[in-house]
Amino acid sequence: MKIYGVIGWKNSGKTGLMERLVAEITARGLKVSTIKHAHHVFDVDQKGKDSFRHRAAGAGEVLLASHKRWALMHELGEDHEPSLDVLLAKLDPCDLVLVEGYKRDNHPKIEVMRQETTQGLIALEDRTVRAVAANTTINDVDLPLFDLDDTNAIADFILDQVGLGASARPPPTSAKPAPLKDDCFALPPGVDWTPVDVALDHLHSSLGPVTGHEEMPVASTLNRVLAVDHLALRSNPPGANSAVDGYGFAHAALPADGDADLPLMEDRAAAGVPFIGSVPFGNAIRILTGALLPEGVDCVVMEEDVTLAGGRISFGAGIKPRANARKAGEDVEAGKLALPAGHVIRPPDIALLSGLGLANAQVHKKLRVGVLSTGDEIVAPGSTLDPAATYDANRPMLLALAEKWGYQAVDLGHVIDNRTSLRTALDDATSSADVILTSGGASAGDEDHVSAILSEEGSLNTWRVALKPGRPLVLAMWHGIPVFGLPGNPVAALVTTLIFARPALSVLAGAGWSNPMRITLPAAFTKSKKAGRREYLRARVNADGAIEVFQSEGSGRISGLSWASGLVELNEPAQDISPGDQVSFLPYAGFGL
């Protein structure tokens, strides 16, 4: 939680400013809690009230409830007044805690002063005071000076100070990126054969996110893409605490050399049940792992290193300052970056955001990936034994890839080689998909209707990419929706999807460009490669840690896709590969498979 204080002398206008700030900041959509230090003559309960009678009878805590609110009162008795850190730990997570009073505590503050206030400025001697709000002229103060009645400006200053200003606020959930341009896939004039890296660079520079934003519970964000930077709501740990079960004390109370011998208090501090009060200098207190360090404790000795006898503890010399004591915020400080925009959420990330107090997250809406099969020869798997028919392997594969990558897979079905049917399918897809993947019909033959209709009625760019397999790659815009025309051959379709479509989809989804993982390993095969094209071979790692390739490079051998655990990438120059030579291996796992 972010903390900011309002201080000043009696009758300076602190409470009035607090009241206006709470109203102003909550009106901006932020959740605000407050802590006020009561005057010494004031009590939070009144004599004669039922709650007072309960406490007077000996109740340690009284929870007073009505239909409008509830309040928990804790009877201190002989205990010391709890510190601000202890009180803050009792609040539920919120965006900002405004603290009235507690001027000696080490949090940023604004000082309030009225003309009729006769005392001097605290700001002159307190470095934690960041600004002054006054209704009179103040001289000789090198701090921002606000008109006491300018609540809006003071609120802006405080929110900027704690990192909750306008730049840190998440965009509205309806935020929608600008649409892609119709010519975003156009290659420079005169380009014929396009090297793979040139094609990837052009694709990278042409795309941007196409999905809007939405807010959802952090616990439900697995595989979702963060739409904005997410900052820690509360520090982790939120307060200084013990890293071990043991005994806490002030390190300065230990002898310069020799064994230590300290009296042990009867109280103890436990996680979630802090000790309220101060540990006297030279005394020790029993403290358990995760318990907040009480006032007067800055060091903890492990219980196995202690001898306990007669209400005292003794242990050897050599305990270092702050031993076994975690600092507040030593992991992540409140207001600091937890995870950046574009990050794809994994289970450990859910733990991080939850542990920093974020109940909800702003994420990109799921990218809707439509998959359309084309061709007269394509039939449903198992529907016929006719050797002239081709079972539809691409559409289920591409839909599975989309789902595996965390997108919303949209099955657009199969259309025959008919312009009207294809046009209808593409038109229908614009309302259900953010991007369309087609397979088949991407070349320039008589029955390649995908490229033909996209050329006549859309914005077509045929990239003759210098790679094997998967040479033709159609990229187009259809009524504002990007279309990737993939080859009909399943091997070529998978390779072009992994190399080109995957990083492009990642950008469209808001996660940024995604490069494949490359591992250099020795070859367990022999190959003579011609110059000109980049080649991708189906491959896997054998028992000796070397790379073996599928027995055939034929793009019709679909079994090689399942046999492999990745791809060997052979760059454009000619090369002769012998067993033991180092090759570049792109594992399926690096593609998110």
Distance between CA atoms of residues 292 and 306, nearest Å: 21
User: What pLDDT score was predicted for residue 299?
Assistant: 96
β-bridge pairing 213-217 and 360-364: antiparallel
Distance between CA atoms of residues 437 and 214, nearest Å: 25
Residue type present at position 174: S
DSSP string over 175-202: --PPPPPTTTTPPPTT--EE-HHHHHHH
Query: Which stretches of the chain score pLDDT less than 70?
Result: 39-46, 77-79, 115-120, 123-125, 139-140, 166-176, 178, 183, 187-192, 441-449, 458, 471
Token output for 429? 């897809």
- For residues 415 and 370, is the Cβ–Cβ distance under 8 A? no
Helix locations, 434-489, DSSP H: 449-457
Three-class secondary structure of residue 395 per DSSP: helix
Distance between CA atoms of residues 312 and 249, nearest Å: 12
All domains of the chain, ordered by start, with CATH? 2-168 (3.40.50.300), 241-326 (2.170.190.11), 368-508 (3.40.980.10), 519-591 (2.40.340.10)
Distance between CA atoms of residues 585 and 570, nearest Å: 9
Three-class secondary structure of residue 193 per DSSP: strand
Residue among 369, 368, 350 nearest 360 (CA): 350
Residue among 259, 292, 522, 487 nearest 393 (CA): 487
Distance between CA atoms of residues 146 and 163, nearest Å: 19
- For residues 2 and 68, is the Cβ–Cβ distance under 8 A? no
User: What pLDDT score was predicted for residue 166?
Assistant: 52
Residue 375: HSE in the Cβ half-sphere, 13 Å Cα cutoff: 25
User: What pLDDT score was predicted for residue 167?
Assistant: 41
Distance between CA atoms of residues 215 and 203, nearest Å: 30
- For residues 99 and 107, is the Cβ–Cβ distance under 8 A? yes
For residue 532, the Cα-to-chain-centroid distance in whole angstroms is: 42
User: What pLDDT score was predicted for residue 191?
Assistant: 58
Query: What does the buried/exposed string (b/e) look like for 539-551 if buried means 16 or more CB atoms within 10 Å of the residue's CB?
Result: bbbeeeebbbbbe
Three-class secondary structure of residue 14 per DSSP: helix
- For residues 298 and 275, is the Cβ–Cβ distance under 8 A? no
Please report how the helices 151-161 and 14-27 are oriented relative to each other, as an axis angle in degrees rounded to 10. 70
Residue 390 forms beta bridges with which residues?
Answer: 378
Distance between CA atoms of residues 190 and 203, nearest Å: 18
| Sign of the CA dihedral with 385 first, then 387, 390, and 393 last | positive
Identify the DSSP state of 3. E
Distance between CA atoms of residues 59 and 290, nearest Å: 28
Identify the DSSP state of 456. H
The residues near 80 (Cβ < 8 Å, ≥ 6 apart) are: 276, 277, 278, 295
Name the pTM for this structure: 0.68
Residue 511: HSE in the Cβ half-sphere, 13 Å Cα cutoff: 20
Residue type present at position 289: T
Residue 16 backbone phi and psi in degrees, to 5: -60, -45
- For residues 30 and 96, is the Cβ–Cβ distance under 8 A? yes
Distance between CA atoms of residues 18 and 60, nearest Å: 31
